[in-house]
Amino acid sequence: MTSRRDFVAQLSAFGLALAGYPRIPVLVRPRFVANPFSLGIASGDPTADGAVLWSRLAPDPLNGGGMGTEAINVRWEVATDEGMKSVVKRGTTIARPDLGHSIHVELDGLRPSAWYWYRFDAGGAESPVARTRTAPPANATPDRFRFAFVSCQHYEAGLYTAYQHLAAEDVELVAHLGDYTYEGATNPDARNMLRRHQAWEPTTLEQYRNRYALYKQDAMLQAAHAAFPWVVTWDDHEVENNYASDSPQDKAEQGSFLVRRAAAYQAYYEHQPLRKASIPRGPDMLLYRTINAGRLARFHVLDTRQYRSDQACGDGIKAPCAEWSDPKRVVLGDTQERWLTRGVEQSQSRWNVLAQQISFSRVPNPTQPTYHAMDPWSGYPAARDRLLAWMAGQQQMNIVVLTGDIHASFVMDVTRDALQPETPTVATEFIGTSISSGGDGFDRWGQLLNYETTVPNMRWHNARRGYVRCELTPDRWTTDYRMVPYVRRPGAPVETAATFVVEHGTPGAQKA
Ligand SMILES: [Fe+2]
């Protein structure tokens, strides 16, 4: 079916500008055995004049995609109306087999702070229409900016009801802070599991693709992607629980782990609306980056997995050993840490947001006061203290840390000394709960029943599921914790369980 003319036409239009990827024949008129847009469509990483449009052709999603070995010509169009009548941009791109027939279109030339609608067409098979939004103008401070953040969507643990509610929110951006997929094989003994992972734990590219395909067929997840642009970053489970740089959790895997990491990173790229800068090179992938909302907010999107030192003292939650306080141990790595501190210092934004995975504040256990969690920042005290000392000199930058990972909500005043909550507050941290991980959840962790009196810098805690909605103005940051009472059966309503504000120039959260 491939003609030489198809191939030549594509080369002249695009030059197949992916460095390191070979030129291959392109099929202009493919035929599909089933809907190739089974994984939905999405957008992300907005700028003031564009965004990235994403999809992946997968007519047989759970079996490698079902696309064969040829590249596919895909048309896209962008309109200013939902009915796609006023098309303002259109073009074609190529879905390559060596990138899982994923599609990543980087738009430019659009108007700032504007909604757009988009769709794809591959050989006459049309995708649904989805919506995206450009960022505010680069040199202006909008009156307000609304976004939401989410994390941790274990497929077996619960339904994505929170996404159904999120899709109806009035926000301009969604930040996903990691654990988009989980790598475990389904547990044959877990008879009460709501829905099932495949029977294997992924280690190969095809297996990781099939795990993404399982997750991305969820209609509520697709609806949330179709409603807003997302900015994504990963935690551990997109590869393997509690891995650190080139160290797997299971040390028996040490020799081959980077091969596995390369497969997982590539599958991550293939399934997210990321720019070409994030195309993986072997086991390495650039994920930390900056997203601006004009001069109102700058999102410093961090990668706390790829460059970190191995967890100290054998990982876990325990009394520290000598390794714990080694000043050479890092979370971000030197390059990313320098990039972050310079990026904040040079920022002209009112709010500087650290969009990242792991608890920055110490989330203490009052019944075990000498224990520290070794995987989050608490396990890297020298790296955290270096950032805290720096934050103490940046209070006019209004640093707000956003966190996922622990499947519970916390509002924390970030204190100059993380182990001494009576020291001055230098920043604010909002830890968001999971979408589904952990199942229905409950009101409080048992050890925090009396946190109001035992943990002075903890403003609020809850362990239900949901998402976090934030509204920023130049003078005030407002955070609403949006909670669903259950995820193990459908139809949960959503409610605002708590609202906190941060005033410009005054780090720390106050109950609204
Ligand atoms: Fe998680």
Q: How far is CA 430 from CA 62, 149, 224, 248, 445, in A?
A: 36, 10, 21, 29, 17
Closest listed residue to residue 179, CA positions, set 147, 211, 206:
211
Quote the ligand 1 centre to 456 CA distance (angstroms). Answer: 26
Quote the ligand 1 centre to 404 CA distance (angstroms). Answer: 7
* Cα–Cα distance, 112 to 274 (Å, whole number): 19
Quote the ligand 1 centre to 305 CA distance (angstroms). Answer: 13
The rounded percent of the chain whose pLDDT value lies above 90 is 88
pLDDT at 18: 53
The rounded percent of the chain whose pLDDT value lies above 70 is 95
Quote the ligand 1 centre to 405 CA distance (angstroms). Answer: 5
pLDDT of 3 over the 80 cut:
no
- 176: tokens are 């996903």
Beta-strand runs (E) in 61-176: 71-79, 87-95, 102-106, 115-122, 125-126, 130-133, 145-150, 174-176
* Cα–Cα distance, 377 to 472 (Å, whole number): 26
Quote the ligand 1 centre to 466 CA distance (angstroms). Answer: 13
Quote the ligand 1 centre to 247 CA distance (angstroms). Answer: 19
Which distant-in-sequence residues (6+ apart) come within 8 Å of 89 by Cβ?
77, 78, 107, 109, 110
Quote the ligand 1 centre to 91 CA distance (angstroms). Answer: 38
Quote the ligand 1 centre to 115 CA distance (angstroms). Answer: 31
pLDDT digits (tens, 9 = 90+) for 476-500: 999 999 999 999 999 999 999 999 9
- 122-133: average pLDDT: 97
Quote the ligand 1 centre to 407 CA distance (angstroms). Answer: 6
pLDDT of 78 over the 70 cut:
yes
Helix (H, G, I), strand (E, B) or coil at 298: strand
Quote the ligand 1 centre to 434 CA distance (angstroms). Answer: 7
Quote the ligand 1 centre to 140 CA distance (angstroms). Answer: 36
Give the H or E element holding residue 6.
Answer: helix 4-14
pLDDT of 10 over the 60 cut:
no
pLDDT digits (tens, 9 = 90+) for 340-394: 999 999 999 999 999 999 999 999 888 888 999 999 999 999 999 999 999 999 9
Quote the ligand 1 centre to 54 CA distance (angstroms). Answer: 24
pLDDT of 28 over the 50 cut:
yes
Quote the ligand 1 centre to 184 CA distance (angstroms). Answer: 12
Quote the ligand 1 centre to 37 CA distance (angstroms). Answer: 27
pLDDT digits (tens, 9 = 90+) for 390-443: 999 998 999 999 999 999 999 999 999 999 999 999 999 999 999 999 999 999
Helix (H, G, I), strand (E, B) or coil at 339: helix
Question: pLDDT tier at 22 (50, 70, 90 boundaries)?
Answer: confident
Quote the ligand 1 centre to 14 CA distance (angstroms). Answer: 39
Quote the ligand 1 centre to 182 CA distance (angstroms). Answer: 8
Picking from 56-70, 280-294, 444-458, which range would have the lowest pLDDT averaged per residue? 444-458
* Cα–Cα distance, 136 to 203 (Å, whole number): 40
Quote the ligand 1 centre to 477 CA distance (angstroms). Answer: 26
Quote the ligand 1 centre to 437 CA distance (angstroms). Answer: 6
pLDDT at 37: 98
* Cα–Cα distance, 48 to 170 (Å, whole number): 19
16 touches 94 (CB < 8 A): yes
pLDDT of 43 over the 80 cut:
yes
Quote the ligand 1 centre to 129 CA distance (angstroms). Answer: 30
Q: How far is CA 132 from CA 48, 53, 81, 117, 122, in A?
A: 12, 9, 11, 6, 20
Can you give the pTM of this predicted structure?
0.95
Number of H helices, E strands in the chain: 8, 25
- 267: tokens are 């599958």
352 touches 398 (CB < 8 A): yes
- 91-102: average pLDDT: 96
Give the H or E element holding residue 215.
Answer: helix 205-216
pLDDT of 15 over the 60 cut:
no
Quote the ligand 1 centre to 402 CA distance (angstroms). Answer: 15
Closest listed residue to residue 183, CA positions, set 151, 208, 147, 153:
208
DSSP β-bridge partners for residue 501: 478, 510
Quote the ligand 1 centre to 459 CA distance (angstroms). Answer: 22
Q: Which residue has the higher pLDDT, 34 or 17?
A: 34
Quote the ligand 1 centre to 412 CA distance (angstroms). Answer: 19
Residue labelled with tokens 């700032």: 112
Closest listed residue to residue 471, CA positions, set 149, 194, 42, 212:
149
132 touches 79 (CB < 8 A): no
Helix (H, G, I), strand (E, B) or coil at 32: coil
- 262: tokens are 């390369």
Quote the ligand 1 centre to 372 CA distance (angstroms). Answer: 18
pLDDT at 450: 87
490 touches 483 (CB < 8 A): no
Q: Is the dihedral of CA 394, 400, 402, 408 positive or negative?
A: positive
Quote the ligand 1 centre to 386 CA distance (angstroms). Answer: 26
pLDDT at 392: 97
* Cα–Cα distance, 225 to 217 (Å, whole number): 12
Quote the ligand 1 centre to 206 CA distance (angstroms). Answer: 23
Count of CB atoms within 10 A of residue 112's CB?
Answer: 18
Question: pLDDT tier at 19 (50, 70, 90 boundaries)?
Answer: low
Quote the ligand 1 centre to 4 CA distance (angstroms). Answer: 48
pLDDT digits (tens, 9 = 90+) for 159-201: 999 999 999 999 999 999 999 999 999 987 766 678 999 999 9
Give the H or E element holding residue 353.
Answer: strand 351-355
Quote the ligand 1 centre to 180 CA distance (angstroms). Answer: 8
Quote the ligand 1 centre to 286 CA distance (angstroms). Answer: 22
Quote the ligand 1 centre to 375 CA distance (angstroms). Answer: 12
Quote the ligand 1 centre to 448 CA distance (angstroms). Answer: 20
pLDDT at 244: 97
Phi, psi of 289 (to 5 degrees): -170, 175
Closest listed residue to residue 231, CA positions, set 154, 163, 290:
290
Residue labelled with tokens 């509204």: 471
Count of CB atoms within 10 A of residue 508's CB?
Answer: 20
Burial class (CB in 10 A: 0-12, 13-18, 19+), 64: middle
Quote the ligand 1 centre to 340 CA distance (angstroms). Answer: 24
